Amino acid sequence: MMTYELRAQIRRLVLVEGFKIETVARRFGLHHSTVSRALEDEITPAPARKARVMDPYKAYVVDRLMDHPQLTSRRLLAEIRERGYQHGIAQVRRFVVQIRKPRLSKAYLRVEMEPGEQAQVDWGSFGQLRIGRTLRPLSAFAMVLSWSRALFIDFALDQKMETFWGMHRSALEFFGGVPRRILYDNLKTVVLHHAGATVQFNPRFMAFAGHYLFEPVAAPVRYPEAKGRVESSIKYLRHSFFYGRTFSSLADVRQQAAQWCEKTANDHSTAILSKPRWCQRSAASRSIRTPTRCRRSSLAKRFSCGLRPRASASCSTARRSQRTRGAGSGEGPSRSPSTWRSFWSAGQARTCRGRATASPAFVPKGPSTCRKWLAGARACLAK
């Protein structure tokens, strides 16, 4: 829209100085018809500004950002929706960008994983929580699936090994299975020390990982970008959930975190996906490994988590399976050869009628064994 100042300059240059319309149009970067309209005597009044959907909520958003400058647009969207806002997040983001300085961001190479291939785990420190007359440190446990970004959050007052095991158990129950690998920061409960490229894991935690049949992986030292998904999840938790809230007890924190995780973290739409990402990808994410019963251990409370240690499935047509360790000896229930089992080979899940006999990452060795194994697998899948 042409301003009154620009219109006055155009009229002076054409009517007083004698410039041609085309010359004035090139000088101001306008079309010649725009210059011709500016020469008319009548002044068209400017149209009245339409009311915008964010106008009734701008004062509230400004006040919230003055008190808590790091509030995210999604958090503000949830708050103004309680006050009657019925539109999307795009209008909120445009207004927040106008009143807050843009954040500088670095560029990284995006690395994607296959479904069920990897999860990332880390602790986050969230200050202190008053318990009675004392202040206890509050920590958040986060586990995120690398492919679907499905997130599990829980809070605790310590980071002991037993608490760490309990958090894993709750997370794996929440996801309904066990990923092949779990990436960790250099926690003392997981990693004792690094010797060059060699990592010495905590033996107690390796016993825990051997029971649940996942491979622990240690991230490089002082390189948080290697586990950027869980780092971003903790940052998201800090700004979208914890920042600006009040809590009365640990139970209150855990209850609010569970509700936020279900209604917000795992149930929000993105600009690319028209449906919630959790709903679209849950089928593949939850097929990480089909749970079956396993024997109890003294490490921690166990749940159905997959085949027992040193156990997988093999097809009866490929080769006769050996007796499962502990089968019939009272260590676990006997298995029927006709029951369906899921086994793993080269990172992909197959299904056949077989018995649990080898390790979950069983890959046959030798050309003849491989040919027999593949022929039996095809025969089972054809059934």
Mean pLDDT to the nearest integer, 227-244: 92
User: 174 and 68, same structural domain?
Assistant: no
> Within this chain, do residues 174 and 222 fall inside the same structural domain, yes or no?
yes
Same domain, 269 and 130: yes
Q: Answer yes or no: do 122 and 268 share one domain.
A: yes
**Any domain includes 134:** yes
Choosing from 229, 256, 280, the residue where a domain stops is: 280
In a domain, 257, yes or no: yes
CA 241-243-245 angle, 5° bins: 80
Among the candidates 239, 259, 280, a domain finishes at 280
Are residues 125 and 267 located together in one domain of the fold?
A: yes
Asked whether residue 354 is assigned to any structural domain, the reply reads yes
> Out of 108-122, 218-232, 258-272, which region has the weakest mean confidence (pLDDT)?
258-272
pLDDT digits (tens, 9 = 90+) for 102-133: 777 777 778 888 999 999 999 999 999 999 88
Q: What is the CATH number of the domain that holds 198?
A: 3.30.420.10
> What distance in Å separates the CA atoms of residue 230 and residue 185, rounded to the nearest whole number?
10
Given this model, what pLDDT does residue 22 score? Answer: 92
Give the model's pLDDT for residue 46.
62
Domain that holds residue 12: 4-38
Give the Å distances, CA to CA, from 80 to 54, 203, 240, 268: 10, 50, 14, 17
255 and 135 belong to one structural domain: yes
Q: 186: Cβ–Cβ under 8 A, 6 or more apart, which residues?
A: 194, 218, 219, 221
Domain count along the chain: 4
Q: Which helix (H) or strand (E) holds 120?
A: strand 118-131
**The CA-based dihedral angle spanning residues 353, 114, 236, 53, taken in that order and rounded to the nearest 10 degrees:** -100
> Is 375's pLDDT higher than 80?
no
pLDDT in tens, 9-40: 988 899 888 899 999 999 999 998 988 888 88
263 and 323 inside one domain? no
Kindly state whether residues 260 and 363 are assigned to the same domain. no
Is residue 289, in this structure, part of any structural domain at all? no
- Segment holding 191, helix H or strand E: strand 191-195
Distance of CA 63 to the CA centre of its chain: 30
Q: What is the pLDDT of residues 136-186, one digit of tens each?
A: 999 999 999 999 999 999 999 999 999 999 999 999 999 999 999 999 988
Domain-embedded: residue 133: yes
Q: What is the pLDDT of residue 373?
A: 61
Residue 107 lies in a domain: no
- What is the pLDDT at residue 268? 53
Same domain assignment for residues 237 and 207:
yes
Q: Phi and psi at residue 132, in whole multiples of 5°?
A: 70, -120
In a domain? residue 206: yes
Instruction: Kindly report, residue by residue over 190-208, the tens digit of the pLDDT.
Output: 999 888 788 999 999 999 9
pLDDT of residue 204: 95
Q: What is the mean pLDDT of the chain?
A: 75
Question: What pLDDT was estimated at residue 275?
Answer: 37
**Residue 7: exposed, middle, or buried by beta-carbon count in 10 A (0-12, 13-18, 19+)?**
middle
- Per-residue model confidence (pLDDT) at position 365: 47
Structure tokens, 57? 């909520």
Residues 16 and 93 reside in one and the same domain = no
- Return the pLDDT at 70: 84
Read off φ and ψ for residue 246, nearest 5 degrees.
Answer: -120, 145
Residue with tokens 């445009």: 94
Q: How far is CA 12 from CA 7, 35, 42, 138, 359, in A?
A: 9, 12, 16, 70, 88
**300 lies in some domain:** no
Helices vs strands, H then E, count in the chain: 12, 10
For residues 267 and 354, membership in a common domain is answered with no
**Rg over CA atoms, the chain:** 31
